[in-house]
Amino acid sequence: LIDAFVQLSKTIPSAQLLVCGDGELMTAARQKIQGLSANSGGAIQLVGWISHDDVPLYLNRMKLLVVPSTNEGLPNVILEAMACGTPVLASCVGAIPDFITEGETGFLATSTSPDQLARRISDVLTNPEALKRVGQNGSNVIRTHFSFGSQVETWKSILESNK
């Protein structure tokens, strides 16, 4: 993602990358960013771990959440972003394509190569109408499928089928 962002910043100089979370890759990410030019590295902010209560504050600041994972189930952050109305661009892995329909409830990246990811992010960011539509549709999906009432009905159906 950092390599893709460096390429993206050449075509969208105002772009900013906010990297949230912590883990074994944080040291490598920090070192990679320190090695970048001031133009590219200065637009990247490493936030680190965020408390669960603060996650919506960050998601609501974003124009686009990018999750370029190569191996995932269904990351909660994708559902949280959709709940906030923040459009998501994610890899086609795990259960992600079950919740993201390309151009309707999110955007799918078919490749995580820096070149192709940078192009895909650029395409999405330069289409404000699609960003708005996808953000609204994603929020509707979460309200429909993950509301308290729908979850009660789902669990009730599961429990009744196992009698």
What is the residue-level pLDDT of the chain in tens, covering all 163 positions?
Answer: 999 999 999 999 999 999 998 888 888 888 888 887 665 656 898 899 999 999 999 999 999 999 999 888 888 999 999 999 999 999 999 999 998 999 999 999 999 999 999 999 999 999 999 999 999 999 999 988 877 777 777 788 888 887 7
- pTM equals 0.86
Contacts of 7-15 with C-beta under 8 Å, sequence gap 24+, read 7/114, 7/115, 7/118, 8/118, 8/121, 8/122, 9/39, 9/40, 9/43, 11/118, 11/122, 12/122, 12/125, 12/126, 13/39, 15/43, 15/125
